[in-house]
Amino acid sequence: MKHSEQKYPMTQKRVTDLSVLILAVWTVVALLVPNVVLSFTEQMSVWARVTNVVLPLGLFCMLLSLTRKTGKAVVLMLPLMIFAAFQLVLLYLYGRSVIAVDMFLNVVTTNPGEVGELLGNLTPIMIVVFVLYLPPLVVGSVAWSRKWLLPDACVRMTRKCSLVIMVLGFVLLAVSKFSKGNYVVHKHLFPINAIYNMCTAINRTMLTSYYDESSAGFSYQSVSERPDSLAQTYVLVIGETSRAINWQLLGADEATNPTLMGREGLVAFDKALSQSNTTHKSVPMLISHLEASNFGDSVYCSKSIITAFKEAGFTTWFLSNHLRNRSFIDFFGQEADTCLFIRDYEEELSLHSDFSLLPYFQNALNSSDRRKLIVLHTYGSHFNYADRYPESMRKFMPDSPSEAKPEYRESLLNAYNNSVLSTSALLDSVITSLQSRDALSAMVYASDHGEDIFDDERNLFLHASPCPSYFQIHVPMLVWISSRLNAQYPQLLASANDNAHKYVASSEAYFHTAMQLAGLKSPYAKMGKSLVCGSYAEPRAVYLNDHNESVPLEDCGLLEHDFMRLDSVGLKF
């Protein structure tokens, strides 16, 4: 009896020691999984790939060996696990690249409804994340509370091994840095690069919080060149997540724009590319003088085209079917004389399509003001696509199931086409209303960015990926000019038709086109960038990357698949 009593505590100690050892190994493996995956997905030298696994392995082991209280060490490494989990989710979504600055900003600026729609379709990767990271945190908490200790011999061995691995890692780092490939730690080594990007996002958020003060003195110095007696109405429609390849006007086989086909005064630009695949950057560029080349330097001290029109004597409206999200879109919208985020007033169920904007649009149109600018910010084709159109627009079937899975691509694409059909009907309604008014009028439409829908073997889905694809940047852009405006200024429509098949940077052209349509002059308005100008010049193809740098389109992360698609629509870079 006495012998068995002595043996039991010893057996229990062995079980505890083994549990702590398994906890330590599990934690290191779980933290290292993103590094291993990134070593295959990223375009780096062999030295860089090995560095990105070996050096973090040494660092993680060293962190765990700093104390015998392994449970405590594991729990304190929770921030690293969050980074690792976030990285795996993004790799599942986009196939490559580290957590971008824009990803952190999207967490702040995306409304809870959108998050719910997305997470509900990420079940496989969420299971993986929970299996990898939840057990060590739970066991670590238990180990910490019960004071389980890693044996001294294991601690000493771990410290020695981790030191050797770290030294090897730093040697590999030196080789990577001086070999071809321009290896930079804060850009290429996970989780250092993710932490750097998070700090950058925090800094941008802080700068944004001072926007009212930093932009207070900005002025477009705009004036109208047309008589005050002229009644004028201009409508700027901002699309959401609409890609050109699904627009009938731009060559799609599906009849997604039946009411717009053959519309008098309507010009579609078939080679329009967005300079960003993220809403919080692309929309501000559309409705201001900002573009990829000056966005990072100027966005915190600039205002939107709404201010330009107000300075010229226009009454302005900003009508949005989005929730407020504390971004520049909110700030720009609030410049308007009337700013309405209709989700503040409408029941959620009534907002499945952008037709909810029409009553507010009609109210603005019916106002007694002679000169009007109306900006409509639509929800467009944002996922979940089947929620973006009314029952009457269910033309392409089947449009369910709508889970984000490659095997459901046909139904996803049908639902997406229905959402484009709905957007087309909305634009047709706007045009019809404008044409019936006794005023010079015009409409400009462009989507902020496009969307991936499992289009090729990469199985990419959604948008805002750190590296864009062709489907995320080739967007529809339209200009409609009323018969009354055309009668007085025929060169506008003639120039638009002449420019219809030229390369267009929608992020640049939108602002300048709207300014010329309305006859506004400003030091910021460049007629050579306007699509209704005879001297329009095709710009250099650039992209606003994650660090707000303007880079040549060929350097933004597009792959061979994407350039082949661009070639097929006549865009060769």
For residue 351, what pLDDT is reported? 56
Question: Do residues 408 and 488 both lie within one domain?
Answer: yes
Residues 288 and 169 in one domain: no
pLDDT tens by residue, 539-571: 999 999 999 999 999 999 999 999 999 999 999
- Phi-psi category of 245—alpha, beta or left, where left has phi over 0 and alpha has psi -120 to 50? alpha
In this structure, are 170 and 282 located in the same domain?
no
* C-alpha–C-alpha distance, residues 500 and 267, integer Å: 7
80 and 140 belong to one structural domain: yes
Q: What is the pTM of this model?
A: 0.88
Domain assignment present for 4: no
Report the number of distinct structural domains present in the chain: 2
Look at residue 219 in the predicted model and tell me its pLDDT: 98
Residue 245 and residue 328 share a domain = yes
**Final residue belonging to a domain, choices 206, 241, 275:** 206
SS3 for 16? helix
Q: What is the pLDDT of residue 2?
A: 46
Question: Does one domain contain both 171 and 311?
Answer: no
Same domain, 437 and 291: yes
- Let me know whether 196 and 281 are in one domain: no
Who's near 524: CB < 8 A, 6+ residues apart?
220, 289, 308
Q: Per-residue pLDDT tens for 465-486?
A: 889 999 999 999 999 999 999 9
In a domain, 140, yes or no: yes
Q: How confident is the model at residue 532 (pLDDT cuts 50, 70, 90)?
A: very high
pLDDT per position as a tens digit, 131-183 = 999 999 999 999 999 999 988 888 999 999 999 999 999 999 999 988 876 78
**pLDDT, average across residues 362-379:** 97
Q: Is residue 573 part of a domain?
A: no
172 & 264 share domain:
no
Q: What is the pLDDT of residues 270-304, one digit of tens each?
A: 999 999 999 999 999 999 999 999 999 899 999 99
Q: Does any domain span residue 389?
A: yes
Neighbouring residues of 95: CB distance < 8 A, sequence distance ≥ 6 = 41, 458, 459, 460, 465
Q: Are residues 122 and 240 in the same domain?
A: no
| Structural domain contains residue 454 | yes
Same domain (yes/no): 264, 189? no
Tens digits of residue pLDDT in 429-439: 999 999 999 99
Domain range enclosing 496: 231-568
Helix H or strand E segment including 267: strand 266-269
What CATH number is given to the structural domain containing 349?
Answer: 3.40.720.10
Rounded-to-integer distance, Cα 211 and Cα 302, Å: 9
Domain presence at residue 14: yes
Report whether pLDDT(4) > 50. Answer: no
Residues 202, 249 within the same domain: no
pLDDT attached to residue 181? 64
Asked if residue 25 is part of any domain, the answer here is: yes
SS3 call for 300: helix
Residue 224 lies in a domain: no
